[in-house]
Amino acid sequence: MKPNILLIVLDTVRADHLSLHDYSRDTTPFLNKLSKECAVYDHAYSASNWTLPSHVSLFTGMSMSNHGVGADATGSSKLSDPRIIIMAEYLRAYGFHTAGFTNCGYLSSVTHLDRGFEQFWWMEELVSRAHPLYSHRILGKYWARILNNVYHKHIYKRTDLGANRTYHKWRNWLEHTWNNEKPFFCFLHFFESHAPYKAPLPYQNAFGDIKQEQIELAE
């Protein structure tokens, strides 16, 4: 029997700020416990310094210099080359159910990273991060974020409070859609540690009396 595969990515989380990797503050108690039952890699590095090319490399095993996606000067903002096969396509061909869940606009049908997934849920945006209107030259990230926030909260009503909506979408798929006669490959991507960082209320002052204005200023 083939095993189920669950791939979870915590976007922009720094290893040197995890208690799992000996950070002085107890930031990751659950991961600390989980590490007792699994392999932990002390020397693992991202293929790029931002989300899109890092995930293309993660899904393909190729460096950014080979797949070309996300190289700001000459690269594409989409995985358009049909000769490049991504992980979900391989696993689906080998009999896995495939599903992806994210609240990041860079990982979506817009950038073609939904290829091979039978279901791919993402926080659809009015102005995608891969769209030219998102650039500084035309609309700018500031106004694009305002439009997307209004769209999510008041029109489409898909505001993600923490990772709750993404997580519950996956749980709903697992309980009501997954056919457990076949193994699954599920990709979960959480974007909460990315700027602008807005910790849920119970955690905002876990490590000191810090105001939201100070966090935004630091970003």
Lowest mean pLDDT among 79-83, 134-138, 187-191: 134-138
The mean pLDDT of the chain is 81
pLDDT of amino acid 208 = 72
pLDDT grade for 107, boundaries at 50, 70 and 90: confident
* pLDDT at residue 188, rounded to an integer: 96
pLDDT at 85 over 90: yes
More reliable by pLDDT, 95 or 160: 95
Higher pLDDT, 203 or 150: 203
pTM for this model (two decimals): 0.80
Q: Over 90: is that where the pLDDT of 55 sits?
A: yes
Task: Report the pLDDT value the prediction gives residue 126, as an integer from 0 to 100.
Answer: 47
pLDDT of residue 108: 83
Q: Name the percent of the chain lying above pLDDT 90.
A: 41
Helices (H), 8-151: 29-34, 51-60, 64-67, 87-93, 141-150
Closest CA to 151 of 180, 128, 178: 128
Q: How many CB atoms lie within 10 A of CB 210?
A: 13
pLDDT for the residue numbered 165: 80
Band of pLDDT at residue 49, cut at 50, 70 and 90:
confident
Q: Average pLDDT in the 108-135 region?
A: 73
CATH class of 5-123+160-218: alpha beta
Whether the pLDDT of residue 145 is over 70: the answer is no
Contact of 194 with 219, CB cutoff 8 Å: no
pLDDT at position 192: 79
Residue 80 pLDDT: 87
Please state, in angstroms and rounded to a whole number, the distance separating the CA atoms of residues 120 and 127.
Answer: 19
